[in-house]
Structure 1
Amino acid sequence: MGIVIAAVAVPTLSASATADQRPATAKTQAALQQGYAAFQQGVALKVSFHVNGTTTIANPNLQSDMDIGPGRFDGEISEDPSLPPGTLRLEGDLTLPPSDGYFIAFGFMPVTTTTEFTQQRKARGTATLDLLNQTSHVDMTIPLRIRARDAKQDGVPLAIGKNCGTASGAAIRMAGDVSLVPGEESVLESTYAIPPFTGCGEKENLDPLLTGLVAGPKNELITRLKVRCIGCLDY
């Protein structure tokens, strides 16, 4: 949850736009035009999105869904001479609140836990901006460490400790078209792997239990984005 956002050259919106093109949002259009002008001076365009999502854990010992958010992605889009013409650099920070989950482990054991997704370093990728249709094609990877706390098994506290989490970050790639029009929701679908767990257990080593329950490939993530601001003066 690296992320790449691809950027393509964007024409200026004009009165001659065809009927099947999306109606312009003047504020968004102006912000993007100002952003392109700023790029020429080496200034980045600030963007911010509201984020919600649902992840499905594929591990057959858990096989459960968990809601994520509401959170925020705050980023900057800028020119990078090392990228192809029309492609812009994107980097930013994803902030998510802790998520409470209810699972049925091994098909019969009720388990509740609080899960935290903590970004390890900047999300990075590329973006292509379409000013006429006010969209951006994005492709980026976000490195997130997954931590578990306050776990209970059938209502009984499970002493996993305060340092229980994945041994390394889960690299979540998000790619697709994102609307830059306020109020419109964009949906991105991702598949990612959850690394093994470490640091779990206050009195005994519970790393194998958490790893056996949660870790593994082909976990699914559906991310829903809505514009918070384009050309933000501040986040």
Structure 2
Amino acid sequence: MSVLTGRVLRAFLLPAVLGLGALSLASASAADPARTRQAEPVQVPAAAAAPGLKFGFYVGDEQQPTTSRVAKLGSDITFPQGLFDGKILGFVGRVPITGKLAIPPTSSYFVSFRFMPATGDVELIPDGDATGTVEVKTGATTGCKAVGTNLCADSDVTNKMFIKLSNVKVDGKVLDVGPNCRTAQSVVVNIKALVPLAFPAPPVKVTTTFPTPGFAGCGGREDLSPLLTGLVSGPGNTLVTHLKLRCTGDGPPPNGCGA
């Protein structure tokens, strides 16, 4: 096995990660708990009466972990459960929200060209806060019927993250990608979903498609960035995860997000 082939294999790891998080993060940001329609006698948490309502989601669970498929490689990578914590910045009409996504680093394994094993660690590095807008809806049998609660949010959220690769090995041998191997630009993941904002709240499955940018800073003695870009970067990557409501408002846990 040539060193070049080994590096090509490694390329698979980095792109997969980029699916995740990308998620994931963007996904969790979809929640926005707070406005009610006078026509519907639905109770909204007291915290929803003031701007800056907190909310939190789990990103991924046992039934549907966060999984990213790299289109060029035809490979899937699964990430540990992450968290998304955010705030609604208003309650009338379509309003802005902001939030932060946190997903633990993951180790990946796959087989390249049907015979070459490769492993590596992937890290998602946020490029600023997740941003977007939401419109709060009410009514278990109307706007929120699809998610099974009386309060929900029609969300449109974008999250940006760099994908960093380290500790790469091909066929058991170290592939020197250097300390700064990551996408040259942040991965942009946009998620549009209807998410619950009241308990009990079932998880919501979210699927989105995103492009993978090129890589930069990869390599010790030689630049491996072009190789990784050619093998991994491109459109058509998918991200699938579950968003599960964790908390809303400033109340104490388990259902409050805390002061």
CA contact (8 A) 1:6 1:139 kept: no
Q: Secondary structure at the match of 2:47?
A: helix
Residue 208 to residue 142, structure 1, CA distance change in 2 (3 Å): same
**Secondary structure of the residue that 1:210 maps to in structure 2?**
helix
String of CA shifts for 1:66-88, please: whole Å, max 9, x gaps: 112311000000128xxxx5111
Residue 144, structure 1, aligned to residue 136, structure 2: no
Letter in 1 for 2:138: L
RMSD, aligned α-carbons: 2.4
Q: Distance in 2 between matches of 1:190 and 1:106?
A: 27
Map of 1:36-75 to 2, 5 A cutoff? 37-38=49-50, 43-52=51-60, 53-59=66-72, 62-75=73-86
CA apart distance, 1:107: 4.1
Which residue matches 2:258?
234
1:69-111 per-residue CA deviation (whole Å, 9 max, x = no partner) reads 311000000128xxxx511111100000001111223443221
Number of positions where the alignment pairs a residue of Structure 1 with one of Structure 2? 210
Query: What amino acid sits opposite 1:70 in the alignment?
Result: Q
Tell me which residue corresponds to 1:21: none
Q: Identify the range of structure 1 (92-101 vs 204-213) with the bigger mean alpha-carbon deviation.
A: 204-213
TM-score by length of 2: 0.74
Q: How does 1:79-90 map to 2 (within 5 A)?
A: 79=90, 86-90=93-97
TM-score normalised to structure 1 length: 0.81
Structure 1 residue 30, shift from structure 2 partner? 4.2
Q: Which residue of structure 1 lines up, in the alignment, with residue 36 of structure 2?
A: 10
Higher strand share: 1
Q: 2:187 aligns with which of 156, 166, 170?
A: 170
More helix, by proportion: 2
Partners of 1:127 and 1:95 in 2: CA distance: 21
- Give the distance between the partners of 1:120 and 1:147, measured in 2 at CA: 12
Distance in 2, Cα, partners of 1:160 & 1:190: 29
Structure 1: segments with no counterpart, 5+ residues: 18-28
8 A Cα contact 1:92 1:124, kept in partner: yes
Structure 1 residue aligned with 2:219, among 201, 208, 223?
201
| Separation in 1, partners of 2:30, 2:74 | 31
Instruction: Tell me the distance in 1 between the aligned counterparts of 2:58 and 2:123.
Output: 18
1:135 to partner: Cα distance: 1.6
Extract unaligned runs of 5+ from structure 2: 1-21, 61-65, 140-149, 251-256
Report the Cα distance in structure 1 between the residues aligned to 2:208 and 2:227, rounded to whole angstroms.
Answer: 26
Compute the displacement of 1:120 (Å): 0.5
Out of 156, 159, 165, the position equivalent to 2:173 is 156
Q: Is the 8 A contact 1:192 1:217 kept in 2?
A: yes
- Alpha-carbon distance in 1 for matches of 2:103, 2:200: 21
Matched residue, 2:242: 224
Q: What letter is aligned with 2:108?
A: G
Paired with 2:31 and 2:83, the residues of 1 have a C-alpha distance of 20
Specify the alignment match of 2:119 in structure 1.
112
